[in-house]
Structure 1
Amino acid sequence: MAAYNAWQNGSLMSAADTLTEAARQEDRAAFFGSIQRTFSHLLWADTLWMSRFDRWDKPAGGIAESVQFVEDWDQLCALRADADAMIRNWAKKLDEGAVEGRLAWHSGALGRDVEKPLAVCITHFFNHQTHHRGQIHAMLTAAGARPGDTDLFAMPEAP
């Protein structure tokens, strides 16, 4: 899933890069408004989850501020690529035993402490990305961009 995540983020960001800044920023009535704001939220959320999984620095702010986590497009693209590489490296180190156990944290979204099986949290991490990338894909298509294939079985072999 980490390889799929990186492939899809690269594909969608490349498609978004063909648009003007105004087109990326345009409010398209999606949950986070624009293409760029949704990408920013995704990077923020990935960073937050990786702070729990792999001790990354926890990002500032909450969900409302996540859309402004990275406002510069070029910086967002670079940080997304870096994060995807680090997520892949983290995932490569996991074995079956590494996902056993539970994860406890304070959820700002729920406003309370939460404890869940680690495997469920990792599944949520990748599912959350897929959910918002689907929104981005729809916005890109509506804007006239042409994102690549999203089928898991069509994913190129990892280098």
Structure 2
Amino acid sequence: MEEFFNELFDYNFFCNKQLIEACSDLKEVPKESMRLFSHILNAHQIWNARINGLESEFGAWDEHPLKTWEEIHYENQRNTFEIITNTDDYETRIDYQNIEGRLFTNTIQDMLFHIINHSTHHRAQILADFRANGLEPVSLDYVFYKR
């Protein structure tokens, strides 16, 4: 399982880095893309904090300036790799509150996979936003990463 999650998070890191670089090359990043990428960063940090039993530093929809994305992204990735490395049982269940204060329980495996799936979902929205704003979307398919 550790190898599987390391591969997924390597791919996730690659995709987010590609988007950060693409946005950095733009004169102006579309507002919705800024909002969505900030949300990707926030959600990743929130789920890491839940797994580690900590309070989150960010709200789900806090917005971050582009110049801070790389640092936040790197820190999220570093924390996730620590979680993966230090997890003995991915079926361990963790209790947490969602952003509305409701109590839930999920396994570490579910939480880690959610980070990946959630990020993929919102990256697709960002790429659609690029196209809607006349910008060329970045190719983030898994096969491009593996080539």
What's the TM-score bracket when you normalise by the shorter of the two chains? Answer: 0.7 to 0.9
- Equivalent of 2:131, from 141, 146, 159? 141
Give the count of matched residue pairs.
Answer: 140
Measured at CA, do residues 139 and 79 of structure 1 come closer, stay the same or move farther in structure 2, by a change above 3 Å? same
Q: Percent identity?
A: 24
In terms of fraction of residues, the more helix-rich structure is 2
Is 1:154 equivalent to 2:144 in the alignment? yes
TM-score normalised by length of structure 1: 0.73
Cα 1:102–1:156, aligned 2, differ >3 Å: closer, same or farther?
A: same
Aligned to 2:68: 75
CA–CA separation in structure 1 for the residues paired with 2:133 and 2:54: 34
TM norm structure 2: 0.79
Contact 1:35 1:136 in 2 (8 A): yes
Partner of 1:98: 89
SS class of match (1:99): coil
RMSD: 2.4
CA-CA distance at 1:48 after TM superposition: 0.5
1:2 aligned partner, one-letter code: F
The answer to whether the Cα contact below 8 Å between 1:16 and 1:140 also exists between their aligned partners in 2 is no
Q: Which amino acid is 2:37 matched to?
A: F
Whether contact under 8 Å (1:35, 1:140) holds in the other structure is yes
2:23 aligned to which of 16, 24, 28 = 16
Gaps of 5+ in 2: 1-7
Q: Would the alpha carbon gap of residues 141 and 46 (structure 1) be closer, same or farther in structure 2, given more than 3 Å must change? A: same
Report the Cα distance in structure 2 between the residues aligned to 1:88 and 1:106, rounded to whole angstroms.
19
| Structure-to-structure mapping, 1:13-92, within 5 angstroms | 13-21=20-28, 23-25=29-31, 34-54=32-52, 58-61=56-59, 63=60, 66-68=61-63, 70=64, 72-84=65-77, 86-87=78-79, 89-90=81-82
Deviation of 1:94 (Å): 5.6
